[in-house]
Amino acid sequence: MLKELYITNYALIKELTVGFSKGLTVLSGETGAGKSIIVGALGLVLGEKAKTSQIRAGSESCTVEGRFRVENGHEAHEILKRMGVEYKKEEEVVIRRTITISGISKSYINGMQVTVRDLKEVTGTLIDIHGQHEHQSLLNVKNHLDLLDQYGGHDELLVKYRACFKSAEDTERQIEALRMDERERERRMDILRHTISEIDHAALTDGEDQRLEEEYQVLKNYEKLVSAVGNAYELLSGEDISALSQVDAALGELERIRGLSEEIGGLATELEGMRDVVGAVASSLNGYVEGIDYEPGKIDVIQSRIEQIRSLKKKYGDSIADITAYRDECAEELDALSLNEDTISGLMTRLEQQRREAGELAKELSVKRRVAAQTLNENTMSELSYLGMDKAGFCARIAYTESENGWVEMNGKRYELSRRGLDNVEFMLRANQGEPYRPLKDIASGGELSRIMLAIKTVLGTADPVLTFVFDEVDAGIGGKIAWAVGNRLRELSKQKQILCITHQAQIASKGDLNIRVEKVSSDKRAVTQVHLLEGEEKVGEIARMISGKSISEAALRQARQMIEE
């Protein structure tokens, strides 16, 4: 509910704070006092169009701030959470709007700047202003189906339907992800087949690239290797003077004196070990040359193989292991694409089943909605008659959207489903008997519209999530019995919602739980709008003024007291 409205430099208001309470709050005062200015300022908080002409003459800017108490569990909390606005459920929600003379408008929720669109989304769940204002949730067709569902108590069935519809949507997305363009799919499969074939044909083995590089270097330098190895072999074990012959000669000399000194014996032993090492090296050198498989043209074959592996590395991986792993990935993808049609076929079967289930639930929901709509129509027309509009007609029109690809078939036609079901709902009204029904947004404005909205709101009751209703000009063109009826309905509705009403009718003002008189006074030779809380005899006097005008008679005072008592 709206707890407080703070206004500075708006129209005739210099600075004003208005507090509100539960129940029915009545704003009264003489014509031109500024009652509608207060409602206009409230509209600014709710996101209505900002105009520099609204700024008080001589001021650089104006500010309007509304403080709201929002019950736990109300949808406004979820909207604020989604927007990232900080709030605590036990604290007030503060909405501020400023306009500068340069035309800049800024909006804030709990100190966080937001767009006007975000502002409207939040306040659309908090307040409706009925009269010559744009902020009326009932004029938004998107709200009509939700209101009908809440009125009919369809929550349980609606949750069940939405879960089924979402499952079907998820399956559809899976199918779309799998069903790529057929030509693109075939191109991809050709690429995969070529890659697998190229890698398989290469018949790579682990470590092959390193072995080939080593063998290539040997063959490339074959003559140099043979010459160097041959020379080394001759030096170690040749027929002429060689390392082995020299070692043998040295050993012969040491053998003659081995027994004369232990140290000489040890050196002789070491020299024998060296002879074995030299002999082994010489033997290995001789075997190395004999082990080289040198054939004319073989180096070209090895070089070609090395280039082949290098080419595969450039395309598929930095190593033979990477190339092999990539080949396996391609094989898996090719298998998946080959089985794609089977997978899609299975998903299509599942989708058809889900669509059938969703369609049956949607039809069941539609039947319940039509029953609820009939009751809503009858009760609203009864309310319109009570409020003096017995020639008017109301209906909640339910229609389907025809589509060739619709999920639901009825009477040889197919219809679309959405997350809200099969139905499109719009509240329609006719002002007089015999006239065609027209959308609510196209009907007359001002007092007539306010009474129509009062009738609908009364019937919807707690089904409407909006917390506060503001009725401006609800008494336009009425009096007597009808004014009493309007007052009674405002009083009844105020037991469920917070009601703010601007009125000139004593019958309506007498019903107020909180009465506020709006006055225009002179301050510093300028007109200024002020408010005054009416209590006790002040309330009686204000209602008497509505009855008899400025000259308040005793009869008017007695009548005012009687009206308040009643």
pLDDT value for 226? 66
- Give the residue-averaged pLDDT of 463-477: 83
pLDDT value for 294? 58
**Mind listing the pLDDT tens digit for each residue in 382-415?**
988 888 888 888 999 999 999 988 888 888 899 9
Decide if pLDDT at 300 tops 60.
Answer: yes
- Give the residue-averaged pLDDT of 365-376: 95
pLDDT value for 356? 93
Give how far the C-alpha of residue 400 lies from the chain's centroid of Cα atoms, to the nearest Å: 27
Whether this prediction's pTM lies above 0.75 is answered by: no
Quote the DSSP letter at residue 92. P
In the chain, pLDDT over 90 holds for what percent of residues?
31
What is the domain partition of the chain in residue ranges? Answer: 1-132+447-534, 184-338, 537-566
pLDDT band at 379 (very low <50, low <70, confident <90, very high): very high
The residue that leads in pLDDT, 223 or 337, is 337
- Give the residue-averaged pLDDT of 226-242: 73
- Give the residue-averaged pLDDT of 13-31: 90
pLDDT band at 292 (very low <50, low <70, confident <90, very high): low
Q: Decide if domain 1-132+447-534 falls under CATH 3.40.50.300.
A: yes
- Give the residue-averaged pLDDT of 453-465: 84
DSSP string, 508-526: HHTT-SEEEEEEEEEETTE
Cβ neighbours of residue 330 closer than 8 Å, sequence gap 6 or more: 192, 195, 196
Nearest 5 degrees, angle CA 383-CA 387-CA 393? 55
Alpha-helical regions (H) of 317-462? 320-338, 340-386, 447-460
CB 30 within 8 A of CB 74: no
**Mind listing the pLDDT tens digit for each residue in 45-101?**
998 888 898 999 889 999 999 999 988 888 888 888 888 888 776 778 999 999 999
**Phi and psi at residue 57, in whole multiples of 5°?**
-55, 130
- Give Cα separations from 251 to 235, 279, 549 (angstroms): 18, 14, 148
pLDDT value for 419? 92
Residue 160 structure tokens: 């069940």
Decide if pLDDT at 233 tops 80.
Answer: no
**Phi and psi at residue 319, in whole multiples of 5°?**
-145, 170
**Mind listing the pLDDT tens digit for each residue in 490-509?**
999 999 999 999 988 889 88
Lowest mean pLDDT among 282-286, 332-336, 358-362: 282-286
Instruction: Point out which residues pair with 13 in neighbouring strands.
Output: 10
Nearest 5 degrees, angle CA 273-CA 274-CA 276? 65
pLDDT value for 391? 85
Burial (0-12, 13-18, 19+ Cβ within 10 Å), 234: middle
**Mind listing the pLDDT tens digit for each residue in 434-446?**
888 888 877 755 5
In the chain, pLDDT over 70 holds for what percent of residues?
93
